[in-house]
Structure 1
């Protein structure tokens, strides 16, 4: 009896153990499968997210460009008489262009090119526009600036004036006379070339280095005998005083304008510089095709009659162009002339500071 009972219990125990082992193996396999499936799914999700992020990064490079201008302050120097930058300031062209990138714009007004480039040398502004002579004086003084584009302007847009009743009838008659001119300005070169044409040594005149407002007062008060000046001050003086034009720059000086930038700005923020030039080009194209509108805009800014300003606008040209070998060569000739007559202390190489961007 007992042996049979033990055999029955033994068989029963074996079945229980066998059942447990079978169930344990199934549980173990199922558990492994579950963890494997979860791991595979997590891997796929992570991979998909990584691919999506990489795709977005590649598809939106402008976001990176925007980040490069974030917090940048673009400081513009301008003259009221410099049509394009004055119009851009009034219309907030640059503020609108930089809004999405997070950059901001500030403006500083100057009476002429030389003090503007002095401010650039001092680190107060990043970008500006002048006639052909100021950057030469600035380079000779060690100013780290860069030519970034040029504007054709016009030789008709600058001249040497004499009072309508003056005894001066020719360029040779300027010998010994007192001539008002903004030192280092575009008309400084016109004066040099005009004297050369008239056979007069630069040392044989009495230059009165005056900014346009002071020069106008001196001219009207007969405190100077002649005045080398550019538009629109030229057109305004002709209309108000009946002054005679002794000569304009035709055949004497190209009278180009130059867009200039601080070298540090060019090196650190080339994308911001390109945005500035793009907006300058758009406003320049508008000015070229709308001289009457430009005159109406400038009139209250300058306190000059719109009709007078329209005369000035119609005898000049507009554009924003990269410097060519021809333009660089002409600018070098001006620099060499200034060095020859000791207006600048050392010779300079224009091509060394021309932007290649």
Structure 2
């Protein structure tokens, strides 16, 4: 099997940059405050990731004319962000479809309050240029890198199952993106299950997708709040406003993919072309949707899968961690993701 170096990936920063797929066990990176004018009586603490919601809202002009203060705390991935939510250090934060399952299994005090549905094309199992692997069935006996507890982790398990394989039929290395990149680049692993923008960057170097999550995983991302924040009238009102602004910002991304890609590239250090690829493949496809029965059932399937594999302790009843008060008139969670035309 030939191995090729991936020069562009030398600058890949080891962060979960997108809302579509957060995973891992890193700690908070930094905290920053954005004040919404004098006299604000409510402070909303929001967990974010590099190049995430703060950058998005700022680019879309949605951080203007707030009547509350936002305190931003930056995390490298979803699980530590949810740990902060559970500890009441953060009022709300955005993660992918799998971290809430692990947090719920750990009996963390979290509540899912909002959702988006996007394309799962960026959720992929990648193989190096020149790899002899042609289908998921070829993964039998191979080494695969993935971040434990991430959406890519579930996508890997689902892909193996669809190919008639079990996790025991392969060797899974639980690695965060930076370490997985090194292993992928050196040939220490045969494949890498990961998410955008990593997928888009690796593809720019000649690697290819063995299989993606399209039609296999639910493509959901969530905003998860601390119950204590929801019980506080002032912060609950601020959360409602924040979610509305985030919905408008997501609409703005779809209408301005190039502009958002420029901002995202600047914030994260990604090459502009990679950022634009990721925006069009997955980041910009997201549609705000309701946290409805279909979403809960889909997440329950993820929880049951991990429980059966004994990767989480006991059974999780996902609906017990959901609050639908902010659903409003949002479309169902099964609404088709946005898509860009070939010439867009």
TM-score, reference length from structure 1: 0.75
User: What do residues 146-170 of structure 1 show as CA deviations (whole Å, max 9, x unaligned)?
Assistant: 1111111211121000111223222
Structure with greater Cα Rg: 1
Partner of 1:149: 114
In the alignment, is residue 191 of structure 1 matched against residue 156 of structure 2? yes
Match of 1:251 in 2: 215
- Separation (CA, whole Å) in 1 of partners of 2:183 and 2:171: 14
Distance 2:40 2:262 in 1: 36
Are residues 1:78 and 2:42 paired? no
Higher helix share: 1
Runs of 5+ in structure 2 lacking a partner?
1-38, 326-344
For residues 175 and 252 of structure 2, the distance between their equivalents in structure 1, rounded to whole angstroms, comes to: 32
Change beyond 3 A, Cα 1:322–1:299: same
Q: Distance in 2 between matches of 1:79 and 1:263?
A: 21
Q: 1:3-32 CA distances to partner (integer Å, 9 max, x unpaired)?
A: xxxxxxxxxxxxxxxxxxxxxxxxxxxxxx
> How many residues are matched?
283
**Structure 1: stretches of 5+ with no match in the other structure:** 1-68
Q: CA RMSD in A?
A: 1.9
TM-score by length of 2: 0.77
**Match for residue 275 of structure 1 among 227, 236, 241:** 241
In structure 2, what is the Cα distance between the partners aligned to 1:137 and 1:175? 27
Higher relative contact order (CA 8 A, sep 6+): 2
- 1:200 maps to which residue? 165
Structure 2 residue 102 is the aligned partner of structure 1 residue 137? yes
Corresponding position of 1:266: 230
The structure-2 alpha-carbon separation of the partners of 1:347 and 1:282, relative to structure 1 and needing over 3 Å to count, comes to same
- Structure 1 residue ranges, 4+ long, deviating more than 4 angstroms after superposition: 89-92
Q: 1:332 is matched with which residue?
A: 300
User: In the superposition, relative to structure 1, how do residues 85 and 177 fare at CA in structure 2: closer, same or farther (>3 Å)?
Assistant: farther
Q: Tell whether the 8 Å contact from 2:60 to 2:252 is kept in structure 1 after alignment.
A: no
